[in-house]
Structure 1
Amino acid sequence: MMYPYINLGPRDGVLIIAALVPLVLTLVFKWSLLEFVLSVIAVIIAFLAGSMKTDEKNMLSFLKK
Structure 2
Amino acid sequence: MSVENKPGGGVRVRLRNFCGKTMRVQVIVKHWSDSGCKTMPNRPGWLFQAVGGRYDRTVVR
Q: Confirm or deny a common fold (TM above 0.5).
A: no
Q: TM-score, normalised by structure 1?
A: 0.24
Asked which structure has the greater RCO (Cα within 8 Å, sep 6+), the reply is 2
Q: Which has the larger radius of gyration?
A: 1
Normalising by structure 2, we get a TM-score of 0.25
Bigger fraction of residues in strand: 2
More helix, by proportion: 1
